[in-house]
Amino acid sequence: MSDSSTPIMPAAEELAARTISFLAADGYTSSVMKLPRPLLNELGRRLVEPGAKRSKIIDWLREEEIDTPERNLDRFAQRFREAYKVEWGKAADELLMAERAAAGDFDRLSYERVTRNRGAVLIAQKLATTNVADLDIGDIQRITNVLSSMDHGDIEAAKLALQERQADDRATKLQAEVDRIKLETEQKKARIEERVKGLQARIDDLENRAKRGGSIDPTIFQQIREELTGVAA
């Protein structure tokens, strides 16, 4: 069961009804447009049904006791399919924008995904509103080119994602190295401070001895110099 919050494309019946409303609002006139609205909506749905055949649609109209000149039906079918593509495009744009809003941040990968989805929708429009037998070599070549471009986009997106992961890994390793150096520096600083305190205590002791007139071992100064050299290193 699909999540009710997930945006989906409207069904063909709904898009057909929207298209009829658009044609009526646009002032399109035809004897076919005078049919009862439920029949007109169903006619629209049948016109864009995959594999729709003109002869079957005419037979269906006769079964419904609708006597419409075939030339009028042909003109209506052409105009309806053109308007249907527009309505489908609007619905697809609304769907993609809804997905964009739900995604939050709209980064480069999201943009490429939306672009590829839009290309897929345009191809679907062409296939859904055209009989396969009516597709010429140019149509097939253009569709093939778009699919190839979309595949290339997938590859480039995958490369970009890999590069971003590699950059993140390098940044993580660099931060770990910085943290290690920082820790070693702090530890070395603590050792130096401890040794300086020890030297300061010895110097204070020497000063106290000198004040009391006590004797001082001359080698003590050499030891202090060596320790100072060690601290500086």
- Please state, for a pLDDT cut of 90, what percent of the chain lies above it: 22
pLDDT in tens, 32-89: 999 999 999 999 999 988 777 889 999 999 999 888 889 999 999 999 988 998 888 8
- Regarding predicted confidence, which is higher, 230 or 20? 20
Tell me how far apart the alpha carbons of residues 119 and 114 are, in angstroms, rounded to a whole number.
9
pTM: 0.47
Largest CA distance in the chain: 134
Separation CA 25–CA 11 (nearest Å): 21
Instruction: Give the Cα separation of 103 and 46 in Å (integer).
Output: 35
Considering 42-56, 117-131, 154-168, the range whose residues carry the highest mean pLDDT is 42-56
Q: Domain spans of the chain?
A: 12-101, 183-232
| Dihedral-angle region of residue 104 (phi above 0 means left; psi in -120 to 50 means alpha; beta otherwise) | left
Q: Which pLDDT tens digit goes with each residue over 127-138?
A: 555 555 555 556
* Closest alpha carbon to 20 in 8, 28, 10, 11: 28
- Is there a contact between 73 and 57 (Cβ–Cβ < 8 Å)? yes
